[in-house]
Amino acid sequence: MPNLRPEQLAAHLQAGLSPLYLIHGDEPLLSIEAGDAIRAAARAQGVSEREVLVVTQHFKWNQFDLAGGNMSLFGDLKLVDLRIPSGKPGREGGEALKRFAEGIDPRAGLQGGVVTLITLPLMDWAARKTSWFVALSEVAVTLECNAPEMAALPQWIAARLSRQQQSASREALQFIAEHVEGNLLAAHQEIQKLSLLHGPGELSLAQVEDAVLHVARYDTEKLRAAFLDGDAARCARLLEGLQGEGAAPPLLLWTLANEIRALANLRSALDSGQPLDTAMRNERIFGPRQQAMKRAVQRLRAPLLRASLMHAARIDRMIKGLSQGDVWDEFLQLSLRLRA
């Protein structure tokens, strides 16, 4: 079965679903996007039920056997979404995966009405030679999601800008690449920021430098820190200052929503038994921000974080004029949700 590059996946999915997809690599952003694309294509092609299985220390592999063998209650197509964060299924898991692979005929289309998606981290040379990984690779559509080399990163950024109908000079693309130092998640965030600050068209080097380097007197980073600490009083002071300086609400929402989304992903990983340090690496959280995120995720629970994401979505509708309300007051209310 084919090994696809992430940029080849869309064309493949347009031709129809395969029974088995295998995603692995060292770049969480690309892995997440590939998984999202497969899940979206499955929904579009009539797969109405999805079962998510996360392999933790005490995972029972008969759950995977049952998930693949059980049709949807209503006879609909089904997606089995198996995630192995450690990349090590153990002896029992390896045997289950090998047995599963041996029952797949990639030429027969969807078998039993089930699509299976298996997601792994970066697999080293030894892991790639295990019998279960070899067996899966032989019958799966495989995507290796690794970050591009530094020399290729400007081209990757240019392709992402083109998706939002923007372009930039070679110097501007190189500036972004050097600023993010190969971190695709950081590059993705800078590209999103440019879409918020500027409309379609070509971006000048000055516009890119201003967007990447701009720091207001009432620094949004200070607001991010106060937000993570649950310091509502400090958030209120910083929000007042940012409002007075004419800070752009879309950029502010982007900053806060990214933190909430990262916290929600961390909380989900912790609740599924994944070590916090592993979850931090997967989310690309490093440096001084790491300690603040650790304190916040230990304080907050999944239902509150889900409600906060919905609150952020409501603010987004207000900013776009689709809903009524005071955007700045809603920023404050969002801060109060996450207070200590």
Over the stretch 113-139, which tens digit does the pLDDT of each residue have? 789 999 999 888 889 999 999 999 999
* Domain end call among 144, 171, 193: 144
Domain that holds residue 94: 3-144
Q: Model confidence over 275-309: pLDDT tens digits?
A: 888 888 888 787 777 888 999 999 999 999 999 99
CATH code, domain with 258: 1.20.272.10
**157 and 77 share one domain:** no
Per-residue pLDDT reduced to its tens digit, 185-236: 878 888 988 998 888 999 999 899 888 776 444 467 788 888 999 888 888 9
Q: Are residues 240 and 317 in the same domain?
A: yes
Q: Are residues 20 and 84 in the same domain?
A: yes
Q: What is the rounded distance in angstroms from the CA atom of residue 338 to the CA atom of residue 249? A: 19
pTM exceeds 0.75 for this model:
no
The CATH number of the domain where 115 resides is what?
3.40.50.300
For residues 125 and 161, membership in a common domain is answered with no
Instruction: State residue 266's pLDDT score.
Output: 92
- Residue 10 and residue 37 in contact, taking contact as beta carbons nearer than 8 Å: yes
**Per-residue model confidence (pLDDT) at position 330:** 94
- Alpha-carbon gap, residue 15 to 315, rounded angstroms: 38
**Are residues 236 and 200 part of one domain?**
no
Closest CA to 270 of 296, 234, 241, 249: 296
Looking at the fold, whether 15 and 111 belong to one and the same domain comes out as yes
82 closest CA partner among 122, 103, 42, 53: 53
Does residue 309 sit in the same domain as residue 189? no
Question: Count of domains in the chain?
Answer: 3
Q: How confident is the model at residue 26 (pLDDT cuts 50, 70, 90)?
A: confident
Same domain, 29 and 139: yes
| Among candidate residues 162, 184, 213, the one where a domain is terminated | 213
